[in-house]
Amino acid sequence: MKALARQIFRFAIVGGLSTVIDFVVLYVLHHRLHINYLIATAIAFAVATIFNYWASMTFIFESKFAANQKKQEFMLFLILSVCGLGLTEVLMYISVEWLGSAVMLGKLFVTAFVMVFNFVTRKLFIER
């Protein structure tokens, strides 16, 4: 149980850093460069996901893949991340278009939901 608590704590730290990256890139792309919020969300998510893969596999999860299978591990991480991105895009659209939320406020709530999805799916499919 102690190991799981430590892992969740590390996930929160890495997730927090990834979230900062995600929010900063989204803010710059949407509010400064005036890129559509859904496109900016996808780009920000991709940048944060690359950082998150590196940090997660370095500091959080013990991979069940052998060293010569890192390509498969990354592909699985990418597939799970694309599922997270799809979920993010749908929830962002609902938040902004249907509920009238500001982009950054909507992103805050969407991120909390998708973070749980990310932890559970990575724990189930990537970790030993």
pLDDT of the residue at 128: 67
Share the mean pLDDT of the chain: 89
Residue-number span of the structural domain to which 26 is assigned: 2-125
12 CB neighbour count, 10 Å cutoff: 14
Residue 45: how many CB atoms within 10 A of its CB?
25
| Higher per-residue confidence, 126 vs 28 | 28
pLDDT tens digits, one per residue of 7-58:
888 888 998 999 899 999 999 999 999 999 999 999 998 899 889 888 988 8
79-112 pLDDT, tens digit per residue, is 998 899 899 999 999 999 999 999 999 999 998 8
This prediction's pTM:
0.74
Q: Which residues contact 92 (CB under 8 A, 6 or more apart)?
A: 37, 38, 41, 103, 106, 107, 110
Residue 69's pLDDT is 80
Number of domains in the chain: 1
